[in-house]
Amino acid sequence: MNNQVTITYLEKHLPTLNDRGKDPSKKWVITYYLYNINTGKYERNRKTICPTSKNRGNYDKRLREARTFVADIKSKMKEGLHIEKKEVLPLPPALPQDKSLKDNLQSYIESKSLQPKMKKAINAVFRIMEKNCASLLDKPLSQVDKQDFFSFRETIKTKVSATTCNYYARVLSCFFNYCIENDWITKNPAKGVKPLRTIESSANYPFTPTQRQAILDKMLELGETQLYLLCQFVYYTLARPYEEIQNLKIGNIREKDIFYPASNAKNGKSYAVPIAPSLEAIIQEYKLREYPAEYYLLGEEGKPSPKPYPPTKIFYLKHRKILKELELTELNDRRYTFYSHKPSGAIALAEKAKNLQDLRKIQMMCRHKTLEETEGYLRKMGVNLSSDDTNS
């Protein structure tokens, strides 16, 4: 520090804290101005106080951290802290708004505070943009507007379903909101954009018992044991094939139920599904409980193994090949896919339902918020629910 430089700092130059309305879950910003002896001007500097696992949700702790920094900067400014070169002392954070959308998305993905499910979602959005909207990724973040968002959606809606397209749009909107919270942009380009209309009739249609049995027989004929187990677990537990069953460990197959941990569950909450007698027979036939508890049900070795089967669409593709061979991909305007085993299982349970308690069991297994949602789901699949079922 050059002690011969005499600098006068006014009140407006001193550090000020923006605590986001006393919200400890958001990033706080401390702004102050240092004198640049090369330009003769006072230049703005910023210090970001980020939420961490130690101070998130604790306003007093965050405030102490901020006050410590403010006191330190004030002391240094009193001693003559200034800028001698283009670099600021201390160095300011980079200006994300001047970087490309691609750079900011990558930084967001690498953020330690990002939840695993959101990281997976934003990764999917990034990949599809990289493949179909490369020019948009190269655009500076501050210049991305609503028209760019529309163009992105128009491009990908020919590649994925309307439901998936709407999901990607919501994920990208969350990213833009994150940018607004950090003062990188002032408007969310996705705000006010109505979701695409989804056609419920194009959903995965359930198999008839005869169709499903033919599919299972074909799997066993081809020696596709793991595909067979996957589809049976989907059918009897109504769990999601990739996120939940592909990550299922042998230790989660308990004596009377199957436990799905929160880290893989649909709504982020752990739950247990009672083991149906037919599924118990399959578990015993393949001696699944005899494998070590830490092994994955669908292992990379073609059987329960220490490492899970690679997270690819190989099961989906194998299943689709069987459907094509059985001429079941589409029949009478009904769409059959890998995911059709789930509604098939739900219908089988509904047809056996005798009272409201049985329907609530289906609601729990489907992870529906309300019983009305479950009833609507079943009716869409062709199940006729009597008043006795819903009221008794």
Same domain (yes/no): 188, 134? yes
Tell me the mean pLDDT in the region 274-294.
95
Same domain (yes/no): 149, 179? yes
321: tokens are: 């090949």
Q: Residue 29 has what pLDDT?
A: 92
Say whether pLDDT at 1 is over 50: no
Q: Residue 257 has what pLDDT?
A: 95
Say whether pLDDT at 162 is over 90: no
88 lies in a domain? no
Give the span between the Cα atoms of 26 and 48, in whole angstroms.
10
Give the span between the Cα atoms of 2 and 314, in whole angstroms.
66
Say whether pLDDT at 389 is over 70: no
CB count within 10 Å of CB 161 equals: 14
What pTM value is reported for the model? 0.55
190: tokens are: 């996705």
Q: What is the dihedral of CA 233, 239, 244, 248, to 10 degrees?
A: -30
CB-based burial, 360-390: b 16+ in 10 Å, e otherwise: eebbebbbbeeeeebbebbeebebeeeeebe
Coil vs helix vs strand at 48: strand
User: Measured between alpha carbons, how far apart are the two ends of the chain, in Å?
Assistant: 82
Q: Check if the beta carbon of residue 184 is closer than 8 Å to that of residue 313.
A: no
Among 161, 179, 198, give the residue marking a domain's end.
198
Among 54, 83, 112, give the residue marking a domain's end.
83
Give the span between the Cα atoms of 358 and 352, in whole angstroms.
8
Same domain (yes/no): 178, 300? no
Closest CA to 116 of 318, 261, 326: 261
- The contacts of residue 285 (CB under 8 Å, 6+ apart) are none
Same domain (yes/no): 323, 361? yes
- pLDDT tens string 247-264: 899 999 999 999 998 877
Coil vs helix vs strand at 54: coil
Give the span between the Cα atoms of 42 and 8, in whole angstroms.
10
Among 26, 48, 83, give the residue marking a domain's end.
83
- Hey, which of 35-39, 164-168, 267-271, 321-325 has the most confident mean pLDDT? 321-325
Tell me the mean pLDDT in the region 81-89.
64
pLDDT class of 283 with cuts at 50, 70, 90: very high
Q: Residue 276 has what pLDDT?
A: 94
Residues in the chain: 392
**Alpha helices, H only, 88-200:** 101-110, 116-132, 134-137, 146-156, 162-181
2 lies in a domain? no
- Residue-number span of the structural domain to which 289 is assigned: 209-391
Mean predicted lDDT score pLDDT of the chain:
85
pLDDT class of 23 with cuts at 50, 70, 90: confident
Same domain (yes/no): 110, 150? yes
**Alpha helices, H only, the chain:** 59-78, 101-110, 116-132, 134-137, 146-156, 162-181, 209-221, 225-237, 277-285, 314-325, 341-352, 356-366, 371-380, 387-391
- The CA-based angle 229-233-238, given to 5 degrees, is 155
Same domain (yes/no): 248, 365? yes
- The CA-based angle 321-220-303, given to 5 degrees, is 95
Same domain (yes/no): 190, 335? no
Tell me the mean pLDDT in the region 376-384.
82
Please state which of the ranges 107-121, 317-331, 353-367 shows the lowest mean pLDDT: 107-121
- pLDDT tens string 196-230: 876 544 457 889 999 999 999 999 999 999 999 99
Q: Residue 106 has what pLDDT?
A: 87
pLDDT class of 88 with cuts at 50, 70, 90: very low
Please state which of the ranges 8-22, 48-62, 143-157 shows the lowest mean pLDDT: 48-62
Same domain (yes/no): 293, 152? no
The domain that contains 238 carries what CATH number? 1.10.443.10
Tell me the mean pLDDT in the region 46-55.
78
How far lies 137's CA from each of 125, 169, 185, in Å? 11, 15, 16
The distance of Cα 372 from the centroid of its chain, to the nearest Å, equals: 26
Tell me the mean pLDDT in the region 384-388.
62
Question: Between residues 335 and 287, which one has the greater pLDDT?
Answer: 287
The domain that contains 138 carries what CATH number? 1.10.150.130
Name the domain count of the chain: 3
Say whether pLDDT at 187 is over 60: yes
Same domain (yes/no): 237, 384? yes
Please state which of the ranges 95-109, 305-319, 322-336 shows the lowest mean pLDDT: 322-336
pLDDT class of 160 with cuts at 50, 70, 90: confident
Say whether pLDDT at 274 is over 90: yes
- pLDDT tens string 346-364: 999 999 988 888 899 999 9
Same domain (yes/no): 327, 358? yes
Q: Residue 2 has what pLDDT?
A: 46
Tell me the mean pLDDT in the region 142-151.
91
pLDDT class of 111 with cuts at 50, 70, 90: confident
Give 39's Cβ-side CA count (13 Å radius): 12
Coil vs helix vs strand at 362: helix
274 lies in a domain? yes
Same domain (yes/no): 318, 185? no
Closest CA to 271 of 283, 281, 282, 263: 263
Q: Check if the beta carbon of residue 168 is closer than 8 Å to that of residue 160.
A: yes
292 lies in a domain? yes
Q: Which amino acid type is present at position 285?
A: E
Say whether pLDDT at 158 is over 70: yes
382 lies in a domain? yes
**Alpha helices, H only, 43-100:** 59-78
Closest CA to 374 of 387, 354, 390, 352: 390
264 lies in a domain? yes
Q: Residue 39 has what pLDDT?
A: 83
Say whether pLDDT at 96 is over 70: no
Same domain (yes/no): 240, 387? yes
- pLDDT tens string 34-50: 998 888 889 999 998 88
89 lies in a domain? no
310 lies in a domain? yes
